[in-house]
Amino acid sequence: MVALPQTVAQPFRAASGTHIAMTGAMLPRRPRIKGFAYTGLHRYSLTICTKDRQPFFRERDVVAMVLLTLQQSAAAHDFALVAYCFMPDHAHAVVSAATETADLRRFVSKWKQRSGYAYRQKTGAFLWQPSYFDHVLRDDEETWRAARYVLENPVRKGLVQVFDEYPYSGSDVFTREQLREIWQRGQGSSPALPNYRTAGLKPCATEQQG
């Protein structure tokens, strides 16, 4: 059985140390929940699309920049990055709040603002479309289903045979080996996610060196 990590793991890395994406599928659109504060110890699945669904994430340096701002923004706003995957025209992330004050809307806004600014400075173009899709995850098993969905996008598109052959997605919480063991167990029960507040874990890595 996979033991819960005692420290935040490094994300998946290609041989070059770079994260990229080629293609993928979309989660169904879910509007903001009326009356829900999006603050506190909750978990979420996120999908954010590029401006006019342009395939900006086919560019290696663009994905590297957007991933770095995702990691930095998650760390700054007390979110753990359970899973992520970049497809040509959208990005997926599964995140878990680490504190009672963690605010999803502030986190996503800061990520989009920082990455969008950097992209426009580089290219003169807008990176993101307005808003984003989110789904509040109820428990560990639903969180793992969302993470599997995100990480298996390249498999569904025929890019790889198994999820961990794809170098351009990953997790800042679990290692490749830990995630592989979970997948090998199929649809059976998955281990509980770490309790970041009580286990003393950092919510997310900040800058990852390739």
Please provide the DSSP assignment of 27-71 as one string: PPP-PPPTT---BSS-EEEEEEEBGGG--GGGSHHHHHHHHHHHH
Residue 209 DSSP symbol: -
Burial 20-55 (b: 16+ CB within 10 A, else e): bbbbbeebeeeeeeeeeebeeebbbbbbbbbeeeee
Angle at 67 between CA 104 and CA 19, to 5 degrees: 140
pLDDT at 180: 82
Exposure letters 99-113 (e unless 16+ CB within 10 A, then b):
eeebbbeebbebbbe
Pairing of strands 169-170, 90-97: unpaired
In eight-state DSSP terms, residue 165 is G
Instruction: Specify the pLDDT at position 34.
Output: 60
Measured N-to-C along each axis, helices 104-123 and 60-76 cross at an angle, to the nearest 10 degrees, of 150
- Read off the pTM: 0.73
Q: Which domains does the chain have, with CATH numbers?
A: 43-188 (3.30.70.1290)
Contacts 24+ apart (CB under 8 A), 184-190: 189/141, 190/140, 190/141, 190/144
Query: What pLDDT score was predicted for residue 45?
Result: 96
**How far apart are the C-alpha atoms of 56 and 90, rounded to whole Å?**
9
State how far the Cα of 108 lies from the Cα of 120, in Å rounded to an integer.
18
Per-residue pLDDT of the chain (210 residues; tens, 9 = 90+): 343 233 233 333 322 232 323 233 333 444 555 668 899 999 999 999 999 999 999 888 999 999 999 999 999 999 999 999 998 899 999 999 999 999 999 999 999 999 999 999 999 999 999 989 999 998 888 888 899 899 988 788 887 888 888 777 889 998 888 888 777 765 444 555 554 443 333 333 322 222
What pLDDT is attached to residue 141?
A: 82
* Residue 138 CB neighbours (<10 A): 10
- Asked whether 78 and 49 are in contact (CB, 8 A), the reply is no
Distance CA 13, CA 1 (A): 24
pLDDT value of residue 178: 82
What is the Cβ-side half-sphere exposure of residue 179, based on CA atoms within 13 angstroms? 28
